[in-house]
Amino acid sequence: MKPQTIKVACSNCNLRELCMPLDLNAEELRRIDELVTTRRKVKRGATLFHNGEKFNALYAIRTGFFKTCVAAEDGRDQVTGFQMAGEVVGLDGIVNDHHTCNAVALEDAEVCVMPFERIEELSREVNALQRHVHKIMSREIVREHGVMLLLGSMRAEERLAAFLLNLAQRLHARGFSPSELVLRMTREEIGSYLGLKLETVSRTFSKFAEDGIVEVRQRHIRILNTPALQHMAHPVACH
């Protein structure tokens, strides 16, 4: 897929505070604006990058929703994460210059392409950018730690409660309702991420609905009792 060559000004982007450092002076902001030179559209179901592909850039999600996944031993996709607008994908490629997962669009999406060579170059000159890259990487480590806790010791109800709360919190940071969710992923993909069978995910959603904790209308989820979910998910925070 050929990237669009569009000049993108980070300084004018309403997601800047989510994926770029704050408190930059005018000159630093101008330099960062030079970092992103292309936007790339990714159709629903298409792959932004593949496992094994050479690593060249990080991608800031401008619109849309992605999942990252790897092929499990039985050939099925194992979902390793879900990413939304304002988040950065591609960090997996930094370690050995090749991506270690696939990034697949769950809906039509658009990303800002940030060549990693330019990020490294600019990081040496703009300290705030270097700190921000470290912060993003640290956040990814914390997220993975949270997922390990989810998969290691939590019951199905606890896993799904933590997942819904995490999703709601991230969407709320983007100006959406903290209690109304539209799931971009399937129940099967949620199960793959949480280490649960599809039937278990469906049964747990039904139980939450019966208990008056959530209202479920296909992919539309309304959280009716946030404290109940928090009580179930405690003490795990997965992002």
For residue range 203-230, list pLDDT tens digits in order.
999 999 999 999 999 899 999 999 999 9
The helix/strand/coil state of 185 is coil
Give 143-170 pLDDT, tens digit per residue. Answer: 777 777 767 778 999 999 999 999 998 8
Listed residue (176, 169, 170, 160) closest to 213, CA to CA:
160
How far apart are alpha carbons 172 and 179 in whole angstroms? 9
Longest dimension (CA), the chain: 56
How far apart are alpha carbons 117 and 217 in whole angstroms? 45
Assess contact for 42 and 48: CB atoms under 8 A: yes
How far apart are alpha carbons 239 and 234 in whole angstroms? 13
Stated as kind and residue range, the H or E segment containing 109 is strand 109-115
Q: Confirm whether pTM is higher than 0.75.
A: yes
